[in-house]
Amino acid sequence: MEVTAIFDIGKTNKKFFLFDEQFREVYRSYTRFEESVDEDGFPCENLSQLTFWMKETFREALANPEFDIQSLNFSTYGASLVHLDNKGEAVTPLYNYLKPFPEDLSADFFERYGPADEWAAQTASPVMGMLNSGLQLFWLKYQRPEVFAQIHQSLHFPQYCTYLFTGKFFSEYTSIGCHTGMWDFQKKDYHRWIYEEEINRLLPPIQPTNTAIETAIEGKNIKIGVGIHDSSAALLPYIIANTEPFLLISTGTWSITLNPFSQESLSVDDLQKDCLNFLRVDGMPVRAARLFLGNEYKIWAKKLSDHFLKAYDRHRHVETGPEILKKLERIKKPVFHWESIHQPGLEKRAPASTDLSVFSSYEEAYHQLIKELVELQVSALQLAKGKTVVRKAYIDGGFVDNELFLQLLARSLGTIELIKTTSPLGSALGAAIAVNNRAVEPDFLLKHFSLQQQKAIRQ
């Protein structure tokens, strides 16, 4: 069977898929790794373990007589760079985008290239420190100059994966465009700071996202893609399958609501609320609103299990309780103080701390948690929507398995129909379409997202 192989690398789950010629999943494997730490002791991706797993997994798939691998591509999370020396070896850890960025260095940067609001508007990137992955290079240049001097090429994470199998260096739009702070959306070129700091000499040429490089691996010629940012990959099949405007809520550690139909410019207020632009595979902007939803959920799943002396995975088995929701109507203000979600205006409503004693049971506290997370999700969706008229919103990723979340979200969206796609493919399917670079019938993709894989959430 001729197949396309895809590595889909998330912060938590590392996935490998094989798709047949009709983009149907015929094989999958998942794994997770314990995080490593960088030189400051801050958690980071275990790059050497990930690299080993990818090479071994592909070698095993290549040797499987059931499959004839024709092409290979990669979808990964963004805001992450791998820095290579002139021998092609990584000279730094794969720094965690949550690593704190020094305030004095940030002030120095914006003294040169700001004001901050102006820079954010030009790059469509809220000021987020290491999450603006371009600033990781600025940080290395001035805080780790001896390491910076060793860098020959800096690759966005998807393109590092391509390098592992081709030995070639590339950049591409979707990785550059994910709040890196590197791209001037008006000029459609790197921002002036990239040139003035001579960062551009470390960045490979930009290739179209559907580029494929024929590479011989173990005597077999395989088309290998240049990789794609996961949120942009997840969006691609929906764009092909729909002619009417829609929103896509892609959930996981981050929940990112994507609007590929907006024509509005971002305001300073939008940017301060973590609304930004991504780049599509064709270099056109996508209005997006980010929310650290899965991370916050994970934090509180642990806190609730500790407080109520329940097993950690209890949160996976809570059934929707209409009577609990009715009881919780008495609570008019937010109960939860968010540990990792920080947005302007949110602080005015949020309590200074969380008092779990107001709940009589784990289930009651859990229902209130989901209610409040849904409120945040609705705000993010409205931010991404802007002035665009939409009638439906798709939701995929980890939260499609949470019926309470889906039901409360559907009730809160008014005239917008919420449609869940229970297929776990998401960004992997988009990466497969990108590397094959052939026409895909919209009717096929609509079918792909229907029947068992698509379900409207009724209010």
Question: What's the mean pLDDT in 390-412?
Answer: 92
User: Does residue 44 sit in the same domain as residue 156?
Assistant: yes
Q: Is the pLDDT of residue 348 over 80?
A: no
User: Does residue 366 sit in the same domain as residue 256?
Assistant: yes
What was the pLDDT predicted at 280? 80
Query: Apex CA 246: angle with CA 240 and CA 251, to 5°?
Result: 90
User: Does residue 113 sit in the same domain as residue 257?
Assistant: no
Residue 373 identity (one-letter amino acid): L
pLDDT in tens, 64-122: 999 999 999 999 999 999 999 999 999 999 999 999 999 999 999 999 999 999 999 99
User: Does residue 62 sit in the same domain as residue 162?
Assistant: yes
* Residue listed under structure tokens 């590595």: 7
pLDDT in tens, 349-362: 778 899 999 999 99
User: Does residue 211 sit in the same domain as residue 240?
Assistant: no
How far is 224 from 4, CA to CA, in rounded Å? 10
Residue 89 identity (one-letter amino acid): E
Q: What percent of the residues of the chain are helix, what percent strand, and what percent coil, each to the nearest 5?
A: 40, 20, 35
What was the pLDDT predicted at 344? 62
Query: Apex CA 198: angle with CA 195 and CA 202, to 5°?
Result: 110
What was the pLDDT predicted at 241? 79
Q: Is the pLDDT of residue 380 over 80?
A: yes
User: Sign of the CA dihedral 129, 134, 140, 143?
Assistant: negative
Backbone φ, ψ for residue 370 (5° rounding)? -65, -40
Which of 179, 202, 226 terminates a domain? The answer is 226
Q: How far is CA 281 from CA 176, 208, 230, in A?
A: 11, 7, 11
Local confidence band at 15 (pLDDT 50, 70, 90 cut-offs): very high
User: Does residue 68 sit in the same domain as residue 84?
Assistant: yes
Domain that holds residue 17: 2-226
User: Does residue 184 sit in the same domain as residue 248?
Assistant: no
What was the pLDDT predicted at 375? 95
Which of 226, 256, 274 terminates a domain? The answer is 226
Q: Exposure of 263 by Cβ count < 10 A (0-12 exposed, 13-18 middle, 19+ buried)?
A: exposed
On average, the pLDDT of the chain sits at: 91
Total residue length of the chain: 459
User: Does residue 222 sit in the same domain as residue 236?
Assistant: no
Q: Tell me, what CATH number does 170's domain have?
A: 3.30.420.40
Q: Is the pLDDT of residue 22 over 80?
A: yes
Q: Is the pLDDT of residue 284 over 90?
A: no
User: Does residue 455 sit in the same domain as residue 405?
Assistant: yes
Please give the tally of structural domains in the chain: 2
User: Does residue 234 sit in the same domain as residue 220?
Assistant: no
Q: Which range has highest mean pLDDT (14-28, 80-94, 239-253)?
A: 80-94
Which of 189, 204, 226 terminates a domain? The answer is 226
**Token code pair at residue 180:** 């890196």
Report the percentage of the chain scoring pLDDT > 90.
Answer: 74
Q: Is the pLDDT of residue 378 over 80?
A: yes
Q: Is the pLDDT of residue 221 over 90?
A: yes
pLDDT in tens, 146-172: 999 999 999 999 999 999 999 999 999
User: Does residue 272 sit in the same domain as residue 325?
Assistant: yes
Q: Which range has highest mean pLDDT (16-25, 245-254, 370-379)?
A: 370-379
Collect all residues with Cβ–Cβ distance below 8 Å to 193 and sequence separation of at least 6.
Answer: 109, 112, 113, 119, 138, 199
* Range with lowest mean pLDDT among 34-38, 48-52, 429-433, 438-442: 438-442
Q: Measuring CA to CA, which residue among 174, 335, 175 is closest to residue 239?
A: 174
User: Does residue 326 sit in the same domain as residue 411?
Assistant: yes
Question: What's the mean pLDDT in 14-27?
Answer: 93
